[in-house]
Chain A
Amino acid sequence: MTSPFDRPRRILVTGATGLVGAQLLLDLAAMLAASGASAEVVGTSRGGSKDGAVIAWDMTESAPPALDGPWDVIVNNAADVRWTMTPEEATFANVRTLDGLVSLAAPDTHVIQVSTAYATGRAAAVASDDRADYRNTYEWSKAAAERLATERFPHLTIVRPSLIMGRRTDGHAERFAGLYVLLRGVASSTIPAVPAARGAYVDVIPVDDLTRVLADLALAPTPPPAGEPTVFTVACGPEAPRVEEVVPRMIDALNAWRVERDLEPFGQPKLIEPDAWDRFFLAFAREHLSPRQQRALDLLRAYEPYLQITEPRPATHVVRDVIPAVELAARAWADRFPRLAAMPLRPWKARADTQESFA
């Protein structure tokens, strides 16, 4: 097969040791090999990789000579995805890093900014700089990054994925964030209950469903026209599973892993309506639970908004049938962290058995 490009194109992937970036490098390599096209694909991350294949670069500092531009395509995956960052941390990690890309881009470089489906916050737009319009500083900073990228890069595509878990094929993930907190919390007996709205959508996609979209964009023969960015949202949208299905299936998958090792299964965490959570459960918790259990509940507050979304995400690329991938992701997490997955049951000192539950 002949190369679809006039010359080997240069593709830079930031955040290349992260969940999305690492998978994207694999997908690009596979697609290039299959097509016979030639391209220089270089990955960077803040710490680089131990084998040197991914170049270390703190994007708030000058790029090393190995990254000299111009690049035909830059896929910016670099991000700190914690939902608990201070505004300063979020700005530094998710907005200031764009500055580092300016010197590497030519006027016709196609920049693909990986954002989040939740960057539109509560106001369904990224225009606001008011933190109150977003669920957390992560969303707020990703909206700011979209605005800045729009100013800086004329040929811009913004890709907004929903929550991301491991690969559809085998559950593998380079990093475990977002919904994995439920597995972690159940395994370490720090989550007795989950505040979730009845029927809430849990819009979670396998990472390889996202990276195929990114790879197609990166390998497109021409950049998008200059002007307003093209925005893609990769999400389940109306096909998203509901919280009543996702949480039990994740824990069932974890428990299947445990039973195979003669370990007692964990109980399912109670799903408690937000109103009952605030009015009854927290009051109960403050009175009866240990300081650590209470601290875990405080930390979990960052995750609450994502289990209370009862309107589907609008999606341009609809991802379907994710429950099997969620189960594989849970097993892959257990394989990666057997010590946590095999933790003994440590009963709560007081459980929420009498609280409202729709599990």
Chain B
Amino acid sequence: MKITELALRPPVVVACDATIADAAALMADAGVGALIVVDGDRPVGIVTDRDIVTRGVAQGRSPDGRIDGLMSMGLIALDHDAEMEDLVHVFDHHAVRRVPVVDHDRVVGVIALDDLLVALSKDLGDITKVLAAQIMFPHAADEPPAPARR
């Protein structure tokens, strides 16, 4: 299964020299909890609403400070044709909760760990239905017994 079969969230980007206040306002306007931080066209990090709280407000940073001072630096990304297995590996090995998806090195979407969980829970639901049917009607799929030969 390709990762693009998941519902990709459109990326919301902020310039690395934007202020913390501007970034927070952008999150509010766009209804997102994370922004891709770019230097020109190049992604250089990601900043979340939690980063603004814990690295900004809690540390007494001015809202006029630069947002790249709060971001997590660097991005682990996946090509848009990557497999779901690759996505699981990134979440597992890189301790991230959001993975940008790129097409020709342009960020075209973001997948959150929650999105993966929702997709998998749907599959698990389908499997559960099959299992439930097999438990309730354990012999429904059995072949009829062959007639005995003399």
Q: Does A pair with B?
A: no
